[in-house]
Amino acid sequence: MAMSHVQPMLLLLASLFFLPVLHGAIDFEYCAKNGNDYGNVTRIEVSPSIGFSENPYITINLFCSASKNIFPGTLVYVTYRSGDFIGFLRTYNLCDVTACNTESVIEAGTNFEITLPEVLYVKEITYSVSLRERTYQDPIIKMCVDFKVPASAPALVTI
């Protein structure tokens, strides 16, 4: 029985259609002992920052769902861990990296995206992104995820 040339072609086209969706997603886990009071992260994607071809910068996109209202003034920290050393890479005001503004909140039950541009890319470190409630003392962590960026991350996006 002769095999049709149409079936392999359809399989190839279907796999190419779904490949971009699977290529950019990053495996992550919630930080140890830090709850996710503000909600859940559903997906993380990483791409190179446009215009920083000489320096290794990435843009991190977190896709989230809010379980509580998240108020303006919430801070987004990007930290890294290498062995026992923990360091800060960037701090953002939540309303600078999401669709909220200074008069509104991210309401419970809504989906939202956090776009973190110009984060230094370093191989073989663990990144942490956390949402922290601003207080009079140290900010309180309300959502936190850890992840590693694959070595191929700077090649994820074609321009």
Q: Which domain holds residue 34?
A: 24-148
pLDDT for residue 123 = 81
In a domain, 4, yes or no: no
Question: How many structural domains comprise the chain?
Answer: 1
In a domain, 74, yes or no: yes
In a domain, 35, yes or no: yes
Q: DSSP for 24-68? A: SB--EEEPTT---TTEEEEEEEEEEPTT-TTTTEEEEEEEEEESS
In a domain, 123, yes or no: yes
pLDDT for residue 152 = 61
Residues 6+ apart with CB under 8 A from 40: 64, 65, 67
In a domain, 53, yes or no: yes
pLDDT for residue 37 = 87
CATH number of the domain encompassing residue 65: 2.60.40.770
In a domain, 17, yes or no: no
In a domain, 15, yes or no: no
In a domain, 37, yes or no: yes
pLDDT for residue 50 = 63
Q: What is the mean pLDDT of each run of 10 residues along the chain (159 residues)?
A: 48 38 72 78 87 75 94 92 89 89 82 94 90 86 91 47
Distance CA 119, CA 48 (A): 9
